């Protein structure tokens, strides 16, 4: 792709060809970033975090309550750690 751009720029000096090709690549990137990706974002499954079994049921069995053998997450906040200062 970059070689195609390089061959089709009608300027002979390498500095100007590099500048024009950089501007073209940046313009295509901006077009994708600001127009195309936001337009197709609603149909992409980025926010679908549900994990299912092969039969379509939820992976936790559908009960909704956590199992007894699952540990709770660590409490948030700082923990006290003893600090030994050598003398």
For 15, the enclosing helix (H) or strand (E) is helix 14-31
The SS3 call for residue 52 is strand
pLDDT at position 38 over 60:
yes
Instruction: Give the sign of the dihedral formed by CA 59, CA 64, CA 69, CA 70.
Output: positive
CA-to-CA dists, residue 8 to 5, 19, 24, angstroms: 5, 14, 12
Residue 38 sits at the vertex; the CA angle it makes with 18 and 23, to the nearest 5 degrees, is: 10
Position with higher pLDDT, 59 vs 8: 8
pLDDT in tens, 57-70: 666 655 555 555 55
User: pTM value?
Assistant: 0.47
Q: How far apart are CA 6 and CA 52, in angstroms?
A: 48
């Amino acid at each position: 792709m970059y070689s195609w751009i390089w061959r089709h720029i009608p300027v002979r000096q390498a500095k100007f060809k590099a500048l024009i090709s950089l501007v073209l690549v940046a313009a295509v990137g901006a077009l994708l970033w600001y127009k195309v990706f936001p337009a197709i974002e609603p149909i992409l499954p980025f926010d679908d975090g549900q994990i299912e079994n092969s039969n379509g049921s939820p992976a936790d069995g559908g009960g909704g309550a956590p199992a007894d053998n699952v540990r709770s997450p660590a409490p948030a906040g700082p923990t006290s750690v003893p600090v030994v200062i050598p003398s």
